[in-house]
Amino acid sequence: MSVWRGKTTACPYDCPDACAMKGMFDGTSVTLEPNTDLPYTTFLCGKGLRWASRATSSERLTSPMLRREGALVPVSWDEALDVWAEKVRAAVSRHGPLSLMHLSSAGSLYFSKLLPPHLFAALGGYTTKKGNLCSSAGSFGLAENFGEVPVTRPESLAEHARGVLFWGRNALETHAHVVPPLRRVRGRGGEIAALEIRETPTTRFADRWWRVNPGGDWALAAWLCAALLEEGACGGWREHVENPEEFERAARSLDGASLLGAAGVSAECASELLEWLKRFAPVTHYAAFGAQRYMHGDAQFRWIGALAVLLGAFSEPGAGLAFSKDEMALFPPDLLPKVERARRLPVATWPVELESLDPPVEVLSISGANPVRQSPGSDLVRAALRKIPFTVCIDFVLSDTAKEADLVLPTTTFLEEEGDWKGSYWHNYVVRSERVLPPRGESLEETDIFTRLAGRLGLSLDLTAMKREADRIMLASPLLERVGDGIYRWDEPDYWRTSRRKASLPVSVPEAAEGPEGALRLVTVHRKEYINGQSWDVPSLEPIPPLSVHPADAASFGLKGGEEAVARGRRGGTLRVAVREDASLGRGYCVLPQGTEGVNALTDPLASPGFGAPFAESWITLDKG
Ligand SMILES: Nc1nc2c(c(=O)[nH]1)N[C@H]1C(S)=C(S)[C@@H](COP(=O)(O)OP(=O)(O)OC[C@H]3O[C@@H](n4cnc5c(=O)[nH]c(N)nc54)[C@H](O)[C@@H]3O)O[C@H]1N2
Ligand SMILES: Nc1nc2c(c(=O)[nH]1)N[C@H]1C(S)=C(S)[C@@H](COP(=O)(O)OP(=O)(O)OC[C@H]3O[C@@H](n4cnc5c(=O)[nH]c(N)nc54)[C@H](O)[C@@H]3O)O[C@H]1N2
Ligand SMILES: [Mo]
């Protein structure tokens, strides 16, 4: 086996931090170190470092597998691709290209993951998702306010903010590299505060935190807006807003007590927060993915956005709102697939819509996605996969989704691929990744898999060549400044400093959702040890998922901390859980980590505005285990 040494690469996870790494392979094992040329990612977290063992793990798929008489059996690539091509050809000739469905998601955020739909463009169309499982509702709300999801440069927080307010963002666990910039805020005498539904490592790190009701942030933000307007404490915002009078009228007409009731915050705490916002101005508002997983996830962010505007987002550096941004923003636009006919189904509800589709879906391919674990209503996703005549899953391990597929295709990890790029949805650096070790077993790069399928379908389409072309364009990009081996800085414009556009602030408020009598709202959260559904290699994960609940709510089901229980969702799905009493929670809801098998059998498939997935609109009851 040949040996490569000290290559530049980047963690592929759907994590804002997009850490630059150096990878070494000695013929047997992989060593990873941080690549400190990227100034925001000078250390690696546990789940990132685990790529060293993931890449060479015996859990890796090494050969294609085809379902025969119910079981997946190893087959050659030739056979695998012949079968897939035949299914595609038959489906297209019977029902046209919309009978092909393709799903990809957050498994890896490397640039080349955008390329596979070129195959469907060449075939004349496909069925796919609209929206994503992650951020669609919040992004939709922000776009309604600001025309787009505002880009906030990390420097504006690190260099200008005197306060940082986390609206539910559990940054210490999900975005650990933001901690050094936070320390700089403190170094200027500033403070970090959090609004949360429970105590977390982030609330413990914060200088103070206040509890809000799940989904109640919009109401607290609206109360704060009304209070600031009443006091006349904010100036200079009107010129940046399209509808200042209408907004002011709407905000001031709201009933303060009802708002605080919806927020679950006392008048005393709300006033304390108001004073804090004034004292530590300029404040960067850091909004959570968790805070927009509601039916009204858009309204959550519209009102937080309005508050940020009143507090000087447009006029004072450090006073903006940070959420997310397009980590693929620099992908060469001419290489983006343009599919003429696309039938797009909401990401969370497609399994329910499948039944009534004409033409029907005959062949489903899934890559970089594990909907049988990660989509709400995962039981319905499983049932859908069983109904679709032929399903293909491309992955590097046997995921819950791969286990249900008719054909499983082993793919390489980023460490086995050459010349791909990774951006960040936080900082403004991109990394060019080099190959660290040879492909595991017979695994192939995704671009290669789709190129081979195209060849069998008689199409002259070379996704691997497109990937090389994207690499060439990136290397020559006048937007990029090389700051180290494989590390490039983009002088990306900060929305708050550069936008010429006027904001359109909210003038209405959402309806409060009520759950069924006696049920608890289920909030599922991301955790430190692993990302999304990729929990297969976490050392010592609890055998039974821990469900945190207020002691009084546990008692109402006859339960105590330490006991086992069966959680039952509204559609009858069940999951065995270990009850943990947590008095930092409010009443009426409970918290479970996302990302292990069966959690999404408890969540309901709904579509929020912007076609997001409102996981937290799910309600459960508990039975003694
Ligand atoms: N280690 C690790 N890092 C990750 C991930 C991971 O799985 N593990 N996932 C990555 C991905 S894909 C994403 S999208 C992000 C997610 O990043 P975060 O948004 O930080 O994570 P969540 O756990 O979804 O939500 C954060 C917090 O919001 C709280 N919360 C829930 N509802 C509300 C609400 O209505 N209001 C308020 N104020 N708080 C609320 C929850 O208690 C939770 O602690 O993290 C990324 N980084
Ligand atoms: N209940 C609940 N469910 C949630 C959430 C929640 O908060 N609560 N969070 C949601 C969020 S924010 C997100 S982003 C989604 C994420 O859910 P998904 O988008 O499904 O992402 P992952 O589970 O990270 O990875 C999916 C699969 O991609 C594979 N993979 C990794 N790299 C590659 C690659 O290079 N090529 C290919 N072909 N496959 C690869 C992994 O092995 C894994 O099996 O989950 C959502 N699900
Ligand atoms: Mo996400």
* CATH assignment of the domain containing 348: 3.40.50.740
Q: Give the closest residue (by CA) to ligand 1 atom 32.
A: 291
Indicate whether 79 belongs to any domain.
yes
Are residues 354 and 452 both part of a single domain?
A: yes
Ligand 2 midpoint to CA 619 (Å): 23
pTM, two decimals, is 0.97
Average pLDDT of span 407-416: 98
Domain, as residue range, for 563: 520-623
Cβ of residue 168 lying under 6 Å from some atom of ligand 1: yes
Last residue in a domain, options 322, 353, 385: 322
* CATH assignment of the domain containing 232: 3.40.228.10
Are residues 349 and 446 both part of a single domain?
A: yes
Are residues 408 and 531 both part of a single domain?
A: no
3-state SS, one letter per residue, for 453-471: HHHHCCCCCCHHHHHHHHH
Tens digits of residue pLDDT in 234-255: 888 999 999 999 999 999 999 9
Cβ proximity of 193 and 220 under 8 Å: no
* Cα distance between the two ends of the chain: 52
The reported pLDDT for the residue numbered 462 is 98
Closest CA to 594 of 426, 394, 378, 381: 378
Paired tokens of 30: 């992989």
Are residues 276 and 373 both part of a single domain?
A: no
Indicate whether 234 belongs to any domain.
yes
pLDDT at 513 over 80: no
Ligand 3 midpoint to CA 132 (Å): 8
- The count of other CB atoms within 10 Å of the CB of residue 242 is 12
Tens digits of residue pLDDT in 332-342: 999 999 999 99
Average pLDDT of span 388-393: 98
Cβ of residue 215 lying under 6 Å from some atom of ligand 1: yes
Residue identified by tokens 């081979």 is 452
Ligand 1 midpoint to CA 555 (Å): 27
Peptide bond before 438: cis, by omega within 30 degrees of 0? no
Rg of the chain in Å (alpha carbons):
24
Q: Give the range among 162-176, 387-401, 502-516 with minimum mean pLDDT.
A: 502-516
- The count of other CB atoms within 10 Å of the CB of residue 398 is 18
The reported pLDDT for the residue numbered 239 is 96
d(CA 73, CA 60): 15
* Confidence class for position 6, pLDDT limits 50, 70, 90: confident
Q: Ligand 2 atom closest to Cα of 401?
A: 44
- Closest ligand relative to 16 C-alpha: 1
Are residues 208 and 317 both part of a single domain?
A: yes
Closest CA to 216 of 574, 589, 613: 589
Paired tokens of 206: 């914060």
Q: Give the closest residue (by CA) to ligand 2 atom 19.
A: 106
Are residues 114 and 156 both part of a single domain?
A: no
Ligand 1 midpoint to CA 308 (Å): 20
Cβ of residue 289 lying under 6 Å from some atom of ligand 2: yes
Cβ proximity of 465 and 117 under 8 Å: no
Indicate whether 252 belongs to any domain.
yes
Last residue in a domain, options 322, 347, 377: 322
Indicate whether 199 belongs to any domain.
yes
Indicate the number of domains in the chain.
3
* CATH assignment of the domain containing 604: 2.40.40.20
Cβ of residue 134 lying under 6 Å from some atom of ligand 2: yes
For β-strands 363-367 and 342-346, DSSP reports them as unpaired
CA angle 347, 352, 353 (to 5 degrees): 80
Ligand 2 midpoint to CA 133 (Å): 9
d(CA 290, CA 614): 10
Are residues 345 and 267 both part of a single domain?
A: no
The reported pLDDT for the residue numbered 3 is 46
Candidate of 526, 528, 599 to mutate for ligand 1, largest count of ligand atoms within 8 Å of Cβ: 526
In the chain, what are the helix, strand and coil shares in percent, each to the nearest 5?
35, 20, 45
d(CA 157, CA 286): 10
Tens digits of residue pLDDT in 167-206: 999 999 999 999 999 999 999 999 999 999 999 999 999 9
Average pLDDT of span 203-231: 98
Are residues 189 and 203 both part of a single domain?
A: yes
Q: Give the closest residue (by CA) to ligand 2 atom 39.
A: 368
DSSP 287-299: E-SGGG-STTHHH
3-state SS, one letter per residue, for 485-513: CCEEEECCCCHHHHCCCCECCCCCCCCCC
- Closest ligand relative to 292 C-alpha: 1
The reported pLDDT for the residue numbered 108 is 98
Closest CA to 63 of 381, 329, 442, 389: 442
Tens digits of residue pLDDT in 523-568: 999 999 999 999 999 998 999 999 999 999 999 999 999 999 999 9
The reported pLDDT for the residue numbered 234 is 86
Average pLDDT of span 360-372: 98
Cβ of residue 136 lying under 6 Å from some atom of ligand 2: no
Q: Give the closest residue (by CA) to ligand 1 atom 31.
A: 290
Indicate whether 447 belongs to any domain.
yes
Tens digits of residue pLDDT in 11-59: 999 999 999 999 999 999 999 999 999 999 999 999 999 999 999 999 9
Indicate whether 470 belongs to any domain.
yes
* Confidence class for position 2, pLDDT limits 50, 70, 90: very low
- The count of other CB atoms within 10 Å of the CB of residue 330 is 21
* Confidence class for position 60, pLDDT limits 50, 70, 90: very high
> In Å, how far from its chain's centre is CA 421?
19
Cβ of residue 87 lying under 6 Å from some atom of ligand 1: no
Q: Give the closest residue (by CA) to ligand 1 atom 25.
A: 290
Are residues 112 and 232 both part of a single domain?
A: no
Q: What is the edge-to-edge ordering of all strands in the sheet holding 30-34?
A: 7-10, 20-25, 30-34
pLDDT at 481 over 90: yes
Last residue in a domain, options 266, 298, 322: 322
The reported pLDDT for the residue numbered 5 is 58
Cβ proximity of 459 and 122 under 8 Å: yes
CA angle 113, 114, 118 (to 5 degrees): 115
Ligand 1 midpoint to CA 327 (Å): 18
d(CA 467, CA 470): 5
DSSP 374-387: HSSSHHHHHHHHHH
Cβ of residue 197 lying under 6 Å from some atom of ligand 1: yes
Ligand 2 midpoint to CA 32 (Å): 22
Neighbours of ion ligand 3 (CB under 5 A): 134
Residue 255 φ then ψ, to 5°:
-85, 115
Average pLDDT of span 70-77: 98
Peptide bond before 282: cis, by omega within 30 degrees of 0? yes
Indicate whether 515 belongs to any domain.
no
Cβ of residue 174 lying under 6 Å from some atom of ligand 2: no
Are residues 457 and 574 both part of a single domain?
A: no
Are residues 126 and 147 both part of a single domain?
A: no
Indicate whether 577 belongs to any domain.
yes
Average pLDDT of span 74-89: 98
Paired tokens of 138: 């919040």
Cα–Cα separations (whole angstroms), residue 127 to 21, 82, 361, 456: 36, 22, 8, 21
Are residues 111 and 228 both part of a single domain?
A: no
- Closest ligand relative to 369 C-alpha: 2
Ligand 1 midpoint to CA 11 (Å): 19
